[in-house]
Amino acid sequence: MADKNSSKNNFIMQAGILAAAGIISRIIGLLYRGPLQSVIGNLGLGYYQSAYNYYTIILLISSYSIPSAISKAIAQKLGEKEYRNAHRLFHGAMIYVLVVGGIASLFLFFGAGLFVSGAAVTVLRTFAPTIFVYGILGVLRGYFQAHKSMAQTSVSQILEQIANAVVSVGAAYLLIQMFMGTMEVPADQAGQVMRATYGAVGSALGTGVGVLVALLFMAGVYALNRGMILRRVQRDRHEHVDSYGQIFKTITLVVTPFILSTAVYNLSSTVNNSIYTKWYPSLRNLDTVSIYEKYGIFSGQSLTMSNIPIAFASAMASAMIPSVAQLMAARDVKGAREKIGLAVKTTMVISIPCAVGLFVLAKPVISLLFTNKTAEELNLAAALLMTLSLSVIFYALSTLNSSILQGLGKVNTPIINAGISLVVQTVAAVLLLMFTSLDLYSIAIANTLYSGMMCVLNQWAVRRAVGYRQEIVKTFVIPVFASAFMGAAAWAIYEGLYMVTKSMRISVIPAIVIAAVVYFVMLILMRGITEQELRNFPKGYLLVKVAKKCRLLR
């Protein structure tokens, strides 16, 4: 029975591999954000993030959804052992991204001025070639994910972030030194803008180099496996071979809903950016440079921190799509329900304590990773992170449920839900900015409202689609109570250490470690997780061993 459960829940392990890579990648991303911020400043981060938001939308429309979409389409063929057609799908997808990615790259380069203005135009043009490269990388990642092999994608993600971190900081520093060292730069606002622009361009170069390094790695992995793949194709005895016309039709039908869903889902940040950096300054007659600087604090620090825990949900979502698609193809609705329930529970067990931890330790966590020139900047970043902390839970669950719906074939539902949530968010942001003095907090509140709407609508849609009811006590109630104990412990330990050391950075690390142990202990004592579920986590056998030694498990 244990073996059966282990096999059945293998996708949790695969999601765990992706989650571990995602978390490592985001930690690397965080670690280099501090040095990057010290080089380019909050204004540079503001220019970078503004360009990055529009680059992301074009990337989403052209290439970003390819791994998930291709993994679903190929997984269905593999489930029917149509290896030849699966490989032809792979070739067709590669042709698709070369054409679409090339067009999107050219459009972004020559049309950058349509999306952003001033210094951000040059930054956005620097992103353009990355879209073309990412499409090829996405097909290779999707191909291996369809085989339920996440290790290749995981390693490529880590390599991508390492290269991104090194080149972003290095290129930003070198560009500033090279170009600003050869000209007389005024010490006024114009000089700050020039420095921020060169720094943001260097950071954008790092993004492109990171994707290129990941592509070279994935291409090498495919080359090593190509002989085995072709031998399996040759042994395929299925008589029906899909024409490339059918393949492109399949790719279009599968990719388009993924693109629309992901694009609408991620329009939230772009809309918020446009409202705050374009519409709001004209409404209140504000200086755009100071607006970009404040937006850099929000997007470069607070929003970046709140996105870290969502890496697990994103990884779980990537693992869910081929698994649920195969179960539904086999008409195993009961099996699909069980996997959905387990995935939701696992995601909540991780996301809820992360949200509480970010709320309780917002200020020291920001101080640990970022350098703010003034106490006002630090307090603003921390308060915004506290405002965003609830969105961690909402985004985690809504991201997972969007992928579940796609795996169930309900590809239009997440698009509709995202569209409704986007309208609500936009109206809320505009009204808050117009009639309150909340300023940047309006954007944080609107962001949380968006994620909450998506969470409710997607959860309801999944329930209707497969008639599934999520277990409440162990999925939500116990993690909330365990997280409350954890949050209290984290706050008490941090405050106690800070009174002695007077250092936020020194005090916060022990507080985080002890808080994680407290949560682990409380979760087991409250029977919020079983031994078998614990074993399904990465290094789960080690966690079980520790729990038994501490007599938490029998």
| pLDDT tens digits, one per residue of 225-237 | 888 888 888 887 7
Q: Please state, as a whole number, how many other Cβ atoms lie within 10 Å of the Cβ of residue 439.
A: 16
Range with lowest mean pLDDT among 150-159, 166-175, 385-394: 150-159
479 and 431 both lie in a single domain: no
313 and 452 both lie in a single domain: yes
Query: Which has more confidence, 52 or 496?
Result: 496
For residue 368, what are its two tokens?
A: 């640990």
pTM score: 0.73
280 domain-assigned: no
At residue 164's C-alpha, the angle toward residues 160 and 169, to 5°, is 165
234 and 133 both lie in a single domain: yes
Query: Of the candidates 194, 149, 181, which has an alpha carbon nearest to the alpha carbon of residue 21?
Result: 149
* Residues 6 or more apart whose Cβ sits within 8 Å of residue 537: 12, 16, 346, 543
Structural domain boundaries, residue 43: 10-266
pLDDT of residue 382: 96
End-of-domain residue from the set 426, 453, 470: 470
75 and 224 both lie in a single domain: yes
The fraction of the chain above a pLDDT of 90, given in percent, is: 37
Checking if the pLDDT of 50 tops 90, the result is no
End-of-domain residue from the set 266, 299, 319: 266
45 and 90 both lie in a single domain: yes
> What b/e sequence results for 81-111 when a residue is b if at least 16 CB atoms lie within 10 Å of its CB, and e otherwise?
ebbbbbbbbbebbbebbeebbeebbebbeee
Checking if the pLDDT of 265 tops 80, the result is no
516 and 390 both lie in a single domain: no
Query: Which has more confidence, 275 or 67?
Result: 275
Supply the mean pLDDT for the chain.
Answer: 84
Checking if the pLDDT of 436 tops 60, the result is yes
261 and 314 both lie in a single domain: no
466 and 478 both lie in a single domain: no
DSSP string, 331-387: T-HHHHHHHHHHHHHHHHHHHHHHHHHHHHTHHHHHHHH---SSHHHHHHHHHHHHH
* pLDDT range class, residue 212, cuts 50, 70, 90: very high
Q: What CA–CA distance (Å, rounded) separates 149 from 142? A: 10
End-of-domain residue from the set 235, 266, 297: 266
282 domain-assigned: no
Q: Is 392 exposed, middle or buried (0-12, 13-18, 19+ CB in 10 A)?
A: buried
> What's the total number of domains in the chain?
3
Q: What CA–CA distance (Å, rounded) separates 200 from 295? A: 14
Is there a contact between 336 and 408 (Cβ–Cβ < 8 Å)?
yes
Q: What CA–CA distance (Å, rounded) separates 343 from 185? A: 55
Q: Is 24 exposed, middle or buried (0-12, 13-18, 19+ CB in 10 A)?
A: middle
Is there a contact between 405 and 458 (Cβ–Cβ < 8 Å)?
yes
245 and 332 both lie in a single domain: no
386 and 498 both lie in a single domain: no
275 domain-assigned: no
529 and 445 both lie in a single domain: no
The beta-strand segments (E) located in 153-276 are none
H/E element, 202: helix 189-234
244 and 313 both lie in a single domain: no
pLDDT of residue 547: 83
- Angle between helix axes 440-466 and 413-435 (nearest 10 degrees) is 160
Q: Where are the alpha helices (DSSP H) in 111-188?
A: 119-146, 151-180
Structure-token match 């309006």, residue found: 442
Cα–Cα distances (Å) from 47 to 51, 297, 372, in that order, read: 6, 11, 17
Checking if the pLDDT of 539 tops 70, the result is no
User: First CA to last CA across the chain, in angstroms?
Assistant: 19
